[in-house]
Amino acid sequence: MNSYQLPTGSTLLHNPRYNKGTAFTEEERRLFHIEGLLPPVPLDLQRQIARTFIQLDDLATDFQRYRLLNEIRARNETLFYAVVMSDPERFLPIIYTPTVGEACQKFNHFIGSPMGLYLPISAKGRVRDLLSNWPEKDVRFIVVTDGERILGLGDQGTGGMGIPLGKLALYTACGGVPPQTTLPILIDVGTNNLELLHDPLYTGLKQPRVRGQEYDDFIDEFVQAVQEIFPLCCIQWEDFANMHAEPILRRWQHRVCTFNDDMQGTAAVTLAGLYAALRITGGSLKDHKFLFLGAGSAAAGIAELITLALQEEGLSAEDALQKVWMYDASGLLTPERKDLAPFQRRFAHPHHPAQSFLEAIQDLQPTAIIGVSTVPKLFNQDVIRLMARINKRPIIFPLSNPTSRSECSAEEAYRWSDGRAVFASGSPFAPIEIDCQRFAPGQSNNVYIFPALAMAIYATGCRLIPEELFITAAKAVANQVTQEDLDLGRIYPPIKKIYDVSLQAAAAIAEHIFRLGLARTAPPDDLLATIQSLAYKPCYPSLM
């Protein structure tokens, strides 16, 4: 941007995209009329990072650190990303899970500088106008939630804005997506959370959630308005209730560039863990049987992708489905049950009723159990010990978030299986040592998938996102797991390498996009080099 186009004076210091804070040079201070508005001696980005680390270390809790980082993000975007990208292993759990769960719960009491866009259903018929108010005109990615099913915490109303804000920070910090191309959105259709409805500080519509045709029409208006205002934009759906998540995705996935991270991103990262686990257990995917604890939209998304991957290995659709079973609060999914949603019926198989999850394991003899129940400690000692009895290397994936909702901890899985579990969780667990053996448990974190997918979409101008791209993404991540990782029990690459892992995966996904003819651009000679050149890097440009 030419200097004459930039804001000046205090306006520049309040513009997070161009503000450098104390890093403005003496010449820039004179040119943009901010001389005297800052301490006289410039401090470069590296010293700003060091100062931020001191501030963060002085705070007592990760929620306080979350708040400080978001305050920095609101005033100096470059510094925010420079800090986060300097140590992703440290900062990802602060800016997203598990800390973001607490942030969503406290959002209305601690709301800071406005970030993102709110679309209340009271504005129906005017969604296009509200989208037009966003200052950036080349938006490529929207993450949107209606706040109804935030992580494992339920209805958080407008507090759910913490999720799109966090997700899009990861688009940039982990996948190199330029932050100016991203837009977090909260669709406010009311809340059924009585605590919020009675809270005088609640910032959302104080009414019960709108359902039915009125809800569907508002979602349709939103999608259509996005196509008009931001025609190159990809929409990521996040933390919608089961009753809405699957129908919204199916309605739009073959018409616009869109995906549901809870369903498809979770599915892809779980499949990536399974592909890597095969290097420990041996055999191929079709040699395994999968039993889910929980049968919501996340479970269905994982199960659908597993069945597609099984078909890719040569199984028929019917045989692939027989490899996938589900158990929820009402027991095994069987055809006789009258309470099943349409997306669950595919995974309902004839079987006598199991009285417990333990009995289901005994009957079905699964090689892998996958927890998406959001109910903690259901993978108890009896469950883990039984899995270890029937499998030499049992695959144990407690995927529920946040940490307080995990079906078991890493220590429990390793200790109760005598160190033989192939483990991955949805929330992070610290490395542990059991009987002189060190384990570095892997986190089945969607961050391995959606930033890479987004970068591939950005580089290609992808028009649609077919399911097979998620299998490609899963393989691309699994292929970057080293033998050293596997020796520590880690079936995902270390988070500290997430930026490079994402760009490598983005190249594989982009290659597939070009092969399918879904790109708006021509394939470059060197795809990885092109993606690396497009990727955002946090540094201050010269404004002279």
Tokens at 246, concatenated: 């699957």
Closest CA to 393 of 355, 366, 354, 425: 366
CA distance 311 to 157: 40
CA distance 111 to 203: 9
- Strand partners of residue 437: 434
For tokens 């598990």, name the residue. 98
Sheet with 234-237: strands ordered across: 117-120, 182-188, 141-145, 234-237, 258-260
* Active-site hit among 20, 81, 167, 215: 167
3-state SS, residue 325: strand
Tokens at 71, concatenated: 């305050």
**CB-CB contact of 471 with 309 (8 Å):** yes
Question: Exposed/middle/buried for 411, CB within 10 Å: 0-12, 13-18, 19+?
Answer: middle
* Active-site hit among 66, 81, 96, 414: 96
**CB-CB contact of 240 with 149 (8 Å):** yes
3-state SS, residue 240: coil
Residue 191 Ramachandran class (φ > 0 left, ψ -120 to 50 alpha, else beta): beta
Closest CA to 237 of 154, 147, 126: 147
**Contact residues for 67 (Cβ-Cβ < 8 A; gap 6+):** 103, 110, 112
- Whether residue 96 lies in the annotated active site: yes
For residue 64, the one-letter residue type is Q
- Strand partners of residue 188: 120
Tell me the DSSP string of 192-214.
--HHHHT-TT--S--SPPP-HHH
Sign of the torsion formed by the C-alpha atoms of 188, 100, 447 and 376? negative
**CB-CB contact of 485 with 494 (8 Å):** yes
CA distance 425 to 328: 19
Rounded to the nearest 5 percent, the helix, strand and coil shares of the chain are 50, 10, 40
Helices (H), 253-296: 266-281
- Strand partners of residue 325: 291
Helices (H), 365-439: 381-390, 410-416
Closest CA to 83 of 165, 203, 194, 173: 173
Tell me the DSSP string of 490-526.
--S--GGGHHHHHHHHHHHHHHHHHHHT--SSPPPSS
The catalytic residue positions are 96, 167
